[in-house]
Amino acid sequence: MGSAATKPNNSQVNKTIYIKVLNNVQKVTFSAGCSSRDLQDQLAALCGLPRGTAVLLKDKHGAHITVSPAMRTNTAQDTFIVDAHTYRQKVGGGKDEVVNNAVAAVAAQLQKVFRIEELRADFEARITSLEKRLENSKRVIEIEKFKYEIADIRDAFLTHQKTRHVDFTRL
């Protein structure tokens, strides 16, 4: 039978990168099979940042390095640099910024709701006013009809006094 050589599984191969955090070189070893999020969390913990913080790496030329298991390896002399200023802004202001954005969005929605409620109340007031005017107009029309009927009855009464004959069909 023959002997077969097995290829190493890529998920079992460990990679090593070197990062510079606050002028200290740190060695980071990770499995090539880990997820990008796991690597981000590991780098954040190494930098003293909260878990879940997005980590941004730059090379010595200032080019951004994508944090993923497929990223290139480097040496201790060619370290990736963690931009601490960016992280202080993200850590200190990132959560506040998210909260501020959420509060601003909620405030905008509440303003819209209050404007809609105000418009609805104004609309209801106008409708009520128009209904009252319509009822008053109907009353005026009825009063005019009654005036005509009274005038007709008065004419009939005056005519009756002259003729002494009552036409009940006319009343």
Beta bridge partners, 81, equal 20, 58
Which pairs count as long-range contacts for 53-61, CB under 8 Å and 24+ apart, including other chains?
Answer: 53/87, 53/90, 53/91, 53/94, 54/90, 55/82, 55/87, 56/82, 56/83, 56/86, 56/87, 57/19, 57/81, 57/82, 58/83
Strand stretches in the chain, DSSP E: 14-21, 24-31, 57-58, 64-65, 80-82
DSSP class per residue in 36-61: HHHHHHHHHHHHTPPTT----EE-TT
- Give, as one character, the DSSP assignment of residue 118: H
Residue 143, classed as helix, strand or coil, is: helix
**Residue 152 has which token pair?**
């007709």
Q: Where are the domains of the chain?
A: 10-82
Task: Please indicate, yes or no, whether the overall pTM of this predicted structure exceeds 0.85.
Answer: no
pLDDT in tens, the chain (171 residues): 334 444 455 556 788 899 988 888 889 888 888 888 888 888 888 888 877 777 888 888 888 888 888 888 898 888 898 864 444 444 445 567 888 888 988 998 999 889 999 999 999 999 999 999 999 999 999 999 999 999 999 888 888 776 665 556 665
CATH annotation of 10-82: 3.10.20.90
